[in-house]
Amino acid sequence: MSAAAAEATERGEPSGGGGEIAYVSYGGEHHLPLVMSLVDEELSEPYSIFTYRYFVYLWPQLTFLAFDPKDGKCVGTVVCKMGEHRGAFRGYIAMLVVLKPYRGRGIATELVTRSIRVMMESGCEEVTLEAEVTNKGALALYGRLGFIRAKRLYRYYLNGVDAFRLKLLFPRPDPGMHPMMMLGNERDDQHMDSPYL
Amino acid sequence: MEASSSSTSSPPPPPPPSIPASSAWADASPLLDAACRDLQDGELIHGENFSLFGAMSALEIMDPKMDCGIEKSGYYSIDEAIEDGIAPVPLSLDRTLDIQRTLDVMDHLFSCEATWHKGHTLAQTVFTCIYLMRMERTSSHAILNSFCRILRATCYAVVSVVSTARTHEEEDLFTMSFGLPLRDEGDEKCLSILNSVEETIARQLRACKAQALSRKKTLEGLESLQDNPDLEEDYCRALLCRLRFRKHFYHVVTCLRKPHGRGLELARKHVASCLTELSLMLNSRDFLRSQSNNTQQQGDEICTTASGVRPVGFDASLNSRLLSPAPPRAVKLLSWSDAIRYFEKLLRDLDIVCSSPLDPVLENVLHFVVQFQKSVPDLVPRAFLQTLLVQDGKLYGRDLSCDVISRALSLPDIIGDKEFQMNEFVVQLGQLEFALKREFGETRNVLLHENMCMRVSKQLLVWTQEHTYWVAYRFLILGFELDLYSPSEYCMVYWYMYVVLMKLIEQMQLRILATRRKGKKKKDHSKDSSRDTAFPSSCLLLQCYVLLSEGLSMMLAALRNESNSFQLPSIFNSEQEVDWHFDLLQKARLPEHITYYSFRESASHASIADLTKYNFFKEIHKITPSLRGSFASEPEKLAEIRQIEQVAEHNRIALNIISQVGAGDPSLRVSFEFTHHPHFAVAVVKRS
């Protein structure tokens, strides 16, 4: 769905002296304008309020916000969903944004890691997302987390840029059984189709 | 909604008969009213099946980022735009300006057409032209009318090829043409209409030349294009090359669609003519620039016309209501120069399609497709190749796939036996054959037939497996071309390539042995026992890939083991899950009995010391000299061998350096680059 405005590729160093960032789980309508303005500002795709509400109402536990404690400003957010997808319970990272001046401090990694952890605990087998092929920062960030590039989507975004579908597969409950040996397993790389068609 | 105020005077209407009379009815209007009052801006009521698709289909009206129907031009309809005079016919009352503007419209349409081919909708490109949307208005303007008509017919033909071929992806907007006047009666006559216009201008051009020679002042019996006799010749030329390009391109498109590839030769001639006209179009640019009003000119990178002037008769937002209810896609038109470059590439790719020898041998067809792919052709030439190769489910619309495979299997005895083909060839394989054997084992004459079945079945199985591994190998290398692999995955990818290639060679050798054994029955047995060991050069070439793949995989594994680099992230999962990249192959059980553990097993023991002892990269140099000899007449293969040798040599040196410094040395930095081959990386060693 959406590209992530991610941090620079420097090796995951924590905050560079700007004080600890506070991470908050989505707490209700008062957080919605913060999420919306961040995404509107930083991501290329336009979303209506219904799209935001769709995510934050159904999966509030997967949405996180990052605040700068100095001035209480919201500097980053992650918005996700999860559900059945072609026989697998799948998490999906819809939007990930960190304001430019705050990038390179591990904020995006922390936000997305929190969401992924909740997905894992909720029984997700995999996590997917799309990122612009030109968004090196996002690709590096997800690469470090173990995402692989499953597919290249031609002109996926409205601005005409290709996307990679990235995928993270969680380990199976039975460690003796390798996923690829479980035949009849209907996992598929088929994606959530672009809704703009 | 029904009127909500219920008065006591009029009794409520009786319930419809389908509803049981026992139900108690209440007026829900006040409740709905209250609910409506409660509903804030941005809220909605939805059912349980409300999906992300539903949420994203909601658009915010008047938000320019979302509302593609938002008025930008100020025109509510094409008619209003026409009334406002943005697409006059004639384009100007000044006849010279009229010709200038006509040329600008042609050029802008050319840029629009290229932009459409590159993946935008017709509605937002070619059909932003009001003259094209209302073609009947141009009937008094023969030049513009003939140009628009043949362009429209070409667009229609190209849409039809792409829809037939279905080589486009679901995300492509290419064939979306709803609501556009893409076809009209009389479009079949577009060629003859264009020809007569072309003929008139050509005559005028000849007259201009004759006049220049004889220095006569008037052009007798001919009507000039415009009023300035000094410019007449150049304008004739500029128009002619544009009209002729359209004519030849239309011929290319129609010839390529002729059944059984019968039009290829003619198509090729028209491709050459198109390229000539394109260069004449480029030549006309200086003249057109010199005649245009400088103040209106745009920069070359963005201007969509040769003259540099913005054309009349276009409105980019008029068709926005024909688009799907989605946020508007940004359309950046190609510049005229880029459009020329696009068409040159398109025509060169189409020329390759035309050069198809219509070879019925499957191996050669596959090779042709692989070669074609190397030029990274766009959607349109890919569609043409597809429609050439497969027509009515047959190769070139001519050879049954069954015959093509028989030929590939070299089964001369059986080809003629239609009954055999129907019953056994396609339908039954392997196990079924064994069942047959058991059931009919008693009957002598069936056994004879059945032995043949067995033999064919075995051969077919080997052949199928060989081709499946070939596809698997192409699947794996495609990952490099699409940039799907990260360096930490290379180790596993190369290992997989190594395994698939080994299997491919194995099947290839089995097939060759089987055909040889068959051939030998007729010949002398004792003579060529030595020939069995010599396999064709295609096998040897694969052997080089095997060595490169295994060498790279083991080198990466050794680096992992000894220097802790190229490790996969392990926060949420392990390498085992990354193996998912090969999920499709695994589902097809390709290769059989290969799992992540097989990889782990071989990778865990890799060491730089062992690698330098058995150096895969050195081995390659033992094979390549003989390969050079056998590929002496194939320059492409020779180039490939050179690349292989370079990759091998660079990696051999890199391995030596790593071995001397020690893989564990913290100052050592190893990275992998695709500088010498698109699929096989070269190790770059640096010390910090």
pLDDT tens digits, B196-208: 999 999 999 999 8
Which residue of B63, B571, B577 is in closest CB contact with A179?
B577
Residue B314 above 60 pLDDT?
A: yes
pLDDT attached to residue B407:
81
Residue B640 above 80 pLDDT?
A: yes
Residue A194: pLDDT band by 50, 70, 90 thresholds? very low
- Partner-chain contact A192 B482, CB within 8 Å: no
- Let me know: does B155 contact B122? Beta carbons within 8 Å: yes
Look at residues B403, B447, B445, B443 and name the one whose alpha carbon lies nearest to residue B425: B403
Report the complex ipTM: 0.75
Residue A86 above 70 pLDDT?
A: yes
Residue B4 above 80 pLDDT?
A: no
Asked which of A82-91, A119-128, B108-117 is least confident by mean pLDDT, the reply is A82-91
Residue A192 above 60 pLDDT?
A: no
- Partner-chain contact B485 A183, CB within 8 Å: no
**Stronger pLDDT, B134 or A18, i.e. the higher one:** B134
Q: How far is A20 from chain B (nearest CA, A)?
A: 22
Residue B684 above 90 pLDDT?
A: yes
Residue B532 above 60 pLDDT?
A: no
Query: Which residue is listed with tokens 């000299």?
Result: B625
Look at residues B512, B422, B400, B498 and name the one whose alpha carbon lies nearest to residue B466: B512
Asked which of B349-363, B423-437, B455-469 is least confident by mean pLDDT, the reply is B423-437
CATH 3.40.50.300 for domain A4-181: no
Average pLDDT of span B233-240: 96
Residue B455: pLDDT band by 50, 70, 90 thresholds? confident
Average pLDDT of span B640-669: 92
Residues in chain A: 197
Average pLDDT of span B4-28: 67
pLDDT attached to residue B30:
93
Peptide bond into B591 cis (omega under 30): yes
pLDDT attached to residue B227:
86
Average pLDDT of span A96-125: 95
Residue B162: pLDDT band by 50, 70, 90 thresholds? very high
pLDDT attached to residue B428:
44
Residue A3: pLDDT band by 50, 70, 90 thresholds? very low
Average pLDDT of span A123-129: 94
Please report residues of B whose CB lies closer than 8 A to that of A145: 569, 571-572
Residue B599: pLDDT band by 50, 70, 90 thresholds? confident
- Partner-chain contact B58 A171, CB within 8 Å: no
Q: How far apart are CA B157 and CA B149, in angstroms?
A: 12
Question: What's the mean per-residue pLDDT of chain B?
Answer: 83
Please report residues of A whose CB lies closer than 8 A to that of B50: 54
Look at residues A119, A18, A124 and name the one whose alpha carbon lies nearest to residue A73: A18
- Partner-chain contact A116 B572, CB within 8 Å: yes
Residue B8 above 70 pLDDT?
A: no
Q: DSSP 3-state assignment of A19?
A: coil
Q: Residue type at B138?
A: T
Exposure class string for A105-138: b at 16+ Cβ within 10 A, else e: bbbbbbbbbbbbebbbeeebbbbbbbbbbebebb
Residue A110: pLDDT band by 50, 70, 90 thresholds? very high
Residue B191 above 60 pLDDT?
A: yes
**Stronger pLDDT, B4 or B576, i.e. the higher one:** B576
Percentage of chain B modeled with pLDDT above 90: 45
Average pLDDT of span B120-129: 91
- A26 interfaces chain B, CB cutoff of 8 Å: no
What number of other Cβ atoms are within 10 A of residue B522's Cβ?
6
Residue B171: pLDDT band by 50, 70, 90 thresholds? low
Query: Which residue is listed with tokens 């009318």?
Result: B145
- Let me know: does A164 contact A133? Beta carbons within 8 Å: yes
pLDDT attached to residue B63:
77
Q: How far is B258 from chain A (nearest CA, A)?
A: 31
Average pLDDT of span B628-639: 90
Q: Across B215-219, B446-450, B619-623, B643-647, which has the greatest mean pLDDT?
A: B643-647
pLDDT tens readout for residues B365-417: 988 998 898 888 989 999 999 999 998 888 999 988 878 887 887 765 444 45
Copy the structure tokens of residue A168: 């993270």
Residue B294 above 80 pLDDT?
A: no
Q: Can you state the angle between helices B362-374 and B401-409, rounded to 10 degrees?
A: 100
pLDDT tens readout for residues B240-282: 999 999 999 999 999 999 999 999 999 999 999 999 999 999 9
- Partner-chain contact A143 B52, CB within 8 Å: no
- By CA distance, what is A127's nearest residue in B? B572
Residue B530: pLDDT band by 50, 70, 90 thresholds? very low
Q: How far apart are CA B582 and CA B401, in angstroms?
A: 29
Query: Which residue is listed with tokens 């950046």?
Result: B332
Give the residue from B173, B486, B574, B584 with the most A CB atoms within 10 Å of its CB, the best one to mutate: B486
Residues 51..90 of A with a Cβ closer than 8 Å to B: which?
51, 53-54, 81
- A8 interfaces chain B, CB cutoff of 8 Å: no
Query: Which residue is listed with tokens 């991470």?
Result: A23
pLDDT attached to residue A18:
55
pLDDT attached to residue B180:
87
Question: Which stretches of B357-486 are DSSP H helices?
Answer: 362-374, 379-389, 401-409, 412-415, 418-420, 430-440, 444-481
pLDDT attached to residue B435:
47
pLDDT attached to residue B427:
45
Residue B557: pLDDT band by 50, 70, 90 thresholds? very high
**Stronger pLDDT, A177 or A22, i.e. the higher one:** A22
Residue B324 above 80 pLDDT?
A: no
**Rounded alpha-carbon distances, angstroms, from residue B7 to B11, B12, B26, B32, B365:** 8, 9, 14, 18, 81
